């Protein structure tokens, strides 16, 4: 099955500038909201990106998933294989499971900024589940304004208010930090499509659950 490929390296600036579609329409030149935070903090530093982890943090076997919130194959994985992996390997503390976002487009980055706005793994994974379960609904039509409205609707169901959403979706330094983090991870692990998985340092493409189980069982021993 054909998978989506990553944005070219030069797409980062356009993707980050797209963060302006949050609480109003952006400047047509810069792409940023009037009064929005600059794409870099005053001291030149970017905020740290929290690693989102499920399962046993000290497990001998590590699985890193690279996925995009706008990728239909990733949504299918989370509805199917992930549920079995979670029940049999994550919830039983057999593996350390790390989720890392890949950004194909602005909506994927917007969704990530909301998911990560609380710097809390429980909220992150709960909202991630909602994003995949309702992916078709919030992406329907492709209109950026409608997509942001749908993301805000989902976030309010998850417990965020307008003030929290406005802060999350206009955070320029966070947007740049996330995109830089994504680029560094993708380069280090050789990621060029989603979903992809790094199991104990070895890269795998998407696969059926029995194949995952066979690899994990062999690593766990």
pTM of the model: 0.85
- pLDDT higher than threshold 70 for residue 16: no
The dotted CATH code for 49-220 is 3.40.30.10
> Model confidence over 136-150: pLDDT tens digits?
999 998 888 899 999
Mean pLDDT of 198-202: 98
Task: Look at residues 43, 14, 19, 31 and name the one whose alpha carbon lies nearest to residue 172.
Answer: 19
> Model confidence over 152-195: pLDDT tens digits?
999 999 999 999 999 999 888 999 899 999 999 999 999 999 99
- Burial of residue 23 (CB within 10 Å: 0-12, 13-18, 19+) is middle
Report d(CA 118, CA 138) in Å as an integer.
21
Report d(CA 39, CA 64) in Å as an integer.
28
> Model confidence over 35-53: pLDDT tens digits?
444 445 556 688 999 999 9
Angle at 202 between CA 198 and CA 207, to 5 degrees: 60
Token code pair at residue 122: 């429980």
Report d(CA 112, CA 128) in Å as an integer.
8
């Amino acid at each position: 099955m054909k998978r989506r490929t990553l944005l070219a390296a030069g797409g980062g600036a356009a993707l980050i500038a797209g963060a302006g579609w949050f609480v109003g329409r952006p400047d047509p030149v810069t792409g940023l909201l009037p009064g929005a935070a600059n794409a870099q903090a005053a001291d030149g530093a970017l905020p740290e990106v929290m690693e989102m982890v499920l399962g046993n943090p000290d497990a001998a076997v590590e699985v890193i998933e690279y996925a995009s919130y706008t990728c239909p194959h990733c949504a299918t994985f989370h509805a199917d294989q992930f549920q079995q992996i979670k029940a049999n390997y994550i919830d039983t503390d057999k593996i350390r499971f790390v989720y890392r976002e890949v950004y194909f487009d602005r909506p994927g980055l917007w969704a990530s900024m909301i998911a990560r706005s609380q710097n809390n793994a429980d909220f992150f994974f709960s909202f991630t589940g909602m994003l995949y379960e309702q992916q078709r609904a919030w992406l329907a039509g492709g209109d950026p304004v409608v997509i942001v409205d749908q993301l805000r609707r989902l976030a309010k169901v998850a417990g965020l208010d307008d003030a929290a959403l406005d802060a999350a979706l206009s955070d320029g330094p966070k947007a740049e930090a996330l995109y830089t983090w994504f680029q560094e991870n993708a380069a280090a692990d050789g990621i060029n499509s989603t979903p992809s998985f790094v199991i104990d340092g070895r890269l795998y493409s998407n696969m059926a659950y029995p194949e995952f189980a066979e690899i994990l069982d062999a690593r766990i021993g």
